[in-house]
Structure 1
Amino acid sequence: MPNLPSRGPLAWAAALAAGLCQPLGLAPFNLWPVSLLGLIGFFALLIRPKAQLAALAFAFAVGMYGLGVSWVYVSINTFGQAPVLLALLLTGLWVTFLALVFALPYGLWQRRLPGPLPLWALPPLWLLGEWLRSWLFTGFPWLYAGYGHLTSPLAGWAPVLGIFGLGLIIATTAALALALWQRQPGRWLALAGVAGLWGAGAALQQVAWTTPAGPVRTVAMVQPNIPQQHKWDPDWLMPTYDRLLTQSKALWGHNWLVWPEAALPTLMSEAQPFMARQAEVARESDTSLVTGVIVNEPHVIERDGRRLLGQRYYNSLVVLGMGQGVYHKQRLVPFGEYVPFDQQLRGVIEFFDLPMSVLHRGPANQQPLMLGHTPVWPAVCYEIVYPDLIAAGARRAEAILTVSNDAWFGRSIAPIQHLQMAQMRALETRRPVVRATNNGFSAIINARGEITAQAPQFELTSLSGSLLPARGNTPYMLTGSWPVVCLSLLALTLLIWRAKRARP
């Protein structure tokens, strides 16, 4: 493409600007055409002669994460008590780390094949980059391109290919658009390809994939709006209980009543009398009560050749009343729930000593919660952003329940991004999703990813509505992300083989 720099500061600035476009396609902006144009511009930079792939990808990712996860600063400064300059430094280091991970596939390609990057290598590289970021170093599956397409024609692909498949289609659209712009041979075939992908997405939206598992369930949740600075303050224990009980008075009798993540700000062993009373009320009201609580269990540890009785702590959900089940969170948030290299980092600043940063990971292969006679797959906070984890669990359930405490992020864009990801999980699995939070956004999402009830943010309130459980599996639930990952790996392998053969 003319007028685009191929290397140096101007090219990096152009890549940075393209990266800034990516979060604009997601909540709360939802300008997906802008992010698509940014992706086309990024791809155009990458295929220029002598393009510095790793540097361009790094600059693009700095723009994308610098805007899209700027809310990290709020957590570090406001609730981690880090001074402004230190919070800015730590946020910058986090963005830099994410940008380096983003640039890794492009750097590896250029190291392996120093020549020009083929246009058709761009979609599989993009897909493998998104997939890599879902598991490397425990993963940070945030800011995926597909989240901006909940309401676009491409939404029909979500139950078939999942969020990674959507990303592959969006990247393929960008590559095809670039082929049209460059007037490459077969450009009309490229136009037909774009029309086919988007038209098929629109047609797939009409497929139900799952069937109702009635009857309709009535659902209610309490949003206690506890200030984060008081969340674990012992003086706030009774006021927290009072808020939960006062807001719940009019909600008993619903099929399901949900309190949010760690709604009981104490250990389960200490909350047992309170929980026993609420279990009795729930049984009398024919209600399944679900509450978040920190479960502590005895655990034998060995130290200096001696066996000592210690404790394990889990971020958990517990069902009381008309139902049963306990779920321990499996995917923990680094620094928030556990501290990597804790021996070196604890005590350095308050951010590395947050109250619940000593949690343990729950075991794999846990069972769904039973709310009455309905199996429900739980996801605690950050877990809802892991698409394959939710898809696998939802196969054994008829609805999804996620609880969160997004007070960590203040008035940033993180809570609405988090809600949008929960909507995508509903669309991928065609299961309704209940999302109960401490201070918003609490919501009920139907099996098409549409919000049917939502509570305002930063208010002490309750929310009630209804949902229809669903039975059956979408194609994505059966296969997970492996088909698109393997397809992309195969495509890159063939492109590498072809490029090597073409060398003199």
Structure 2
Amino acid sequence: MDTPSLQSPLPLKFSQLLFLALAGACLPLSLAPFDWWWTGILVMAALAAGLNRAGPKHSFLLGWSFGSGSFLTGVSWVYIAMHDFGATPAYLALPMTAVFCIFLGLVPALFCYAYSRWVRDGKAGRILGFAAIWVLCEWLRGWLFTGFPWLYLGYGHLHTALAGWSPVVGVYGLSFWVALSGAALAQVIIAPPSAKRPSVVALLGCALLFGQGYLLAQNEWTQATAKEPLRISAVQSNISQEKKWAYTQYWATLELYDQASEKLWADSDLVIWPEAAIPALYHNAQSFFDYIAERAAANNSALITGVPTRFDEKMHNSAMVISGGEGIYHKQRLVPFGEYVPLSSYIQGLLKIFDLPLSSFSRGGSDQAHLSVKGWQLAPSICYEIAYPDLIAQSARDSDVLFTISNDAWFGHSIGPDQHMQMAQMRALENGRELIRVTSTGISAIVDHHGNIRTRVPSFTQTALRGEVYAREGSTPFTRYGSTPIILLCFALILCARIGAKQSPRPS
């Protein structure tokens, strides 16, 4: 009886492309706000089954169909940013969003080609190799062209027993488990009876790891310090994006933050304003910030705000301590099409269709210090940066608490804010640190070191987030080593699978 590795490739059918496009479109259901975590396993099982006997070229097309489907549903909010708030006409924003998502689909396409061409036909390739190469493609997507680390499979397990592994292996490790479970399930279903044993063993191993996650979750990787809790308040201004950058609204915006903060100074150690709270460069609004600093100091309070800055003729998206401490942080990872236009030097003629107010920022350096407030060390990140596991792990070292500000108004009433919040919660869990998240329209929240939301305020309301955060010391394994161990493991597994594939006989 032929084993799967000896079967000849099948011709590609349109129905296969459609099936995997629909399967990919279901991938976001495993993530926030739906949180149907089991969907991720089924989706990966569908992909593994679809690639079972496809040749490398056909696998590329199948992977492209799968990836395009997942991004078209999972990051459709790109259209909102370009059309609703970037003033790009619908007849341009729609195809540009589609092109962006289909371009992102090339990464899963490369995964499927490499899997079929070099990994699949070994004994370990169809399960371990499948999971390993999928994780490497997620990792690749995290830094290629500054990175787009969205829709990682592991986020679906923020609140399952598997989350106990997060402080050890990070979100990539959880993605490995999902892909492994899906590949094993596919082989249980489609492999001939004589070849099912390895996949059954793999499924049992996945179940064992899942249970082990519950035991790991009982471990406290970090410890509370002796510091008194920091009383924080945050202004959620709920200024709509179309008004935020209108010149006629400038003075009304300053008055809003002034009046909202006046109610918070007296009983807050720290008041926080969201990303780019004041729609002007810092030096252009310095007189206002000097006035606000005096109000904060008079009440023995501190203030951190997001504000655009200019240094050495370069504009930055920054977070700055205005009073009660010191420090300024310039955003390192910028949002494609929101804060910079990819390949802009090659498409100068098309840039005039963009009217995004923040589309010309420069990246900050990689060696920036924490923000220091009242003796606390805050590990800062701005908006999109919270999606980068290793960036936050590096920043979390020697910090008391994680701190992120954002302007999620760009997402509108889409699934984007929920996805973004889920990623922030995963960073808190991975690093065993509490996290403060302040946005202009929501979701604004305080997250504990287990990744659970302790306090939040309703989105799309003008309100204030109030609460306390607690400093923690020590490091999780993920904070110390980042994603390096799981990435090295994946490379080793692919090498083993490749060796096995070379030794397997191939069909004539």
Instruction: Report the TM-score, using the length of structure 2 for normalisation.
Output: 0.92
Instruction: Report the TM-score, using the length of structure 1 for normalisation.
Output: 0.93
Aligned position for 1:93: 99
Structure with the larger RCO, 1 or 2 (CA within 8 Å, 6+ apart): 2
1:312 and 2:314 matched: yes
User: What's the CA shift for 1:395?
Assistant: 0.6
> Please, which of 223, 243, 257 is the counterpart of residue 244 of structure 1?
257
1:18 and 2:23 matched: yes
> Please, which of 342, 345, 349 is the counterpart of residue 344 of structure 2?
342
> Please, which of 66, 82, 88 is the counterpart of residue 88 of structure 2?
82
User: What's the CA shift for 1:461?
Assistant: 1.3
Q: Residues 195-242 of structure 1, C-alpha deviation per residue, up to 9 Å, x if partnerless? A: 211011111110110001232211110011122122222221111111
Matched ranges for 1:4-43 at <5 A: 7-43=12-48
Residues 187 and 237 of structure 1, relative CA distance in 2, 3 Å threshold = closer
User: What's the CA shift for 1:347?
Assistant: 5.9
The CA distance in 2 between the partners of 1:188 and 1:35, in whole Å, is 19
Aligned position for 2:7: none
The CA distance in 1 between the partners of 2:153 and 2:60, in whole Å, is 20
Matched ranges for 1:347-496 at <5 A: 348=350, 350-496=352-498
The CA distance in 1 between the partners of 2:353 and 2:157, in whole Å, is 35
User: What's the CA shift for 1:354?
Assistant: 2.0
More displaced stretch, 180-189 vs 151-160: 180-189
The one-letter amino acid paired with 2:243 is H
1:190 and 2:192 matched: no
User: What's the CA shift for 1:350?
Assistant: 4.9
Aligned position for 1:209: 221
The alignment partner of 1:434 has SS state of strand
The one-letter amino acid paired with 1:194 is C
The CA distance in 1 between the partners of 2:468 and 2:259, in whole Å, is 21
The alignment partner of 1:354 has SS state of coil
1:280 and 2:294 matched: yes
The CA distance in 1 between the partners of 2:60 and 2:306, in whole Å, is 43
The alignment partner of 1:202 has SS state of helix
Structure 1's unaligned 5+ residue stretches are 300-310
The one-letter amino acid paired with 1:26 is L
The CA distance in 2 between the partners of 1:321 and 1:394, in whole Å, is 23
The CA distance in 2 between the partners of 1:156 and 1:456, in whole Å, is 28
Mapped contact 1:27–1:417 kept (Cα < 8 A) = yes
Residues 210 and 115 of structure 1, relative CA distance in 2, 3 Å threshold = closer
Mapped contact 1:80–1:350 kept (Cα < 8 A) = no
The CA distance in 2 between the partners of 1:115 and 1:195, in whole Å, is 25
User: What's the CA shift for 1:83?
Assistant: 2.1
Residues 498 and 344 of structure 1, relative CA distance in 2, 3 Å threshold = closer
The one-letter amino acid paired with 2:101 is V
User: What's the CA shift for 1:85?
Assistant: 2.1
User: What's the CA shift for 1:343?
Assistant: 4.5
Aligned position for 2:185: 177
The one-letter amino acid paired with 1:432 is E
The one-letter amino acid paired with 1:169 is W
User: What's the CA shift for 1:110?
Assistant: 3.7
Matched ranges for 1:63-212 at <5 A: 63-112=69-118, 118-181=126-189, 182=191, 183=193, 184-186=196-198, 188-212=200-224
User: What's the CA shift for 1:111?
Assistant: 4.4
Mapped contact 2:119–2:497 kept (Cα < 8 A) = no
The CA distance in 2 between the partners of 1:226 and 1:7, in whole Å, is 51
> Please, which of 220, 228, 231 is the counterpart of residue 233 of structure 2?
220
User: What's the CA shift for 1:112?
Assistant: 4.6
Mapped contact 1:222–1:461 kept (Cα < 8 A) = yes
Mapped contact 2:272–2:438 kept (Cα < 8 A) = yes
Aligned position for 1:56: 62
Q: Residues 405-455 of structure 1, C-alpha deviation per residue, up to 9 Å, x if partnerless? A: 111121111111111110110110111111111111111111111111112
User: What's the CA shift for 1:340?
Assistant: 3.2
Aligned position for 1:305: none
The alignment partner of 1:456 has SS state of coil
The CA distance in 2 between the partners of 1:425 and 1:38, in whole Å, is 25
Residues 6 and 245 of structure 1, relative CA distance in 2, 3 Å threshold = farther
More displaced stretch, 230-239 vs 376-385: 230-239
Aligned position for 1:261: 275
Mapped contact 2:11–2:54 kept (Cα < 8 A) = yes
Residues 340 and 123 of structure 1, relative CA distance in 2, 3 Å threshold = closer
User: What's the CA shift for 1:50?
Assistant: 4.7
Matched-pair identity in %: 40
The one-letter amino acid paired with 1:24 is L
Aligned residues: 489
Residues 173 and 340 of structure 1, relative CA distance in 2, 3 Å threshold = closer
The CA distance in 2 between the partners of 1:329 and 1:316, in whole Å, is 6
The CA distance in 1 between the partners of 2:361 and 2:244, in whole Å, is 16
Mapped contact 1:23–1:64 kept (Cα < 8 A) = yes
More displaced stretch, 385-394 vs 217-226: 217-226
Residues 53 and 401 of structure 1, relative CA distance in 2, 3 Å threshold = same
Mapped contact 1:36–1:170 kept (Cα < 8 A) = yes
Residues 455 and 345 of structure 1, relative CA distance in 2, 3 Å threshold = farther
Mapped contact 2:184–2:200 kept (Cα < 8 A) = no
The CA distance in 2 between the partners of 1:427 and 1:259, in whole Å, is 24
The CA distance in 2 between the partners of 1:410 and 1:147, in whole Å, is 22
Residues 97 and 191 of structure 1, relative CA distance in 2, 3 Å threshold = closer
Mapped contact 2:81–2:410 kept (Cα < 8 A) = yes
Q: Residues 9-41 of structure 1, C-alpha deviation per residue, up to 9 Å, x if partnerless? A: 121122112112210011111111122212212
Mapped contact 1:426–1:433 kept (Cα < 8 A) = yes
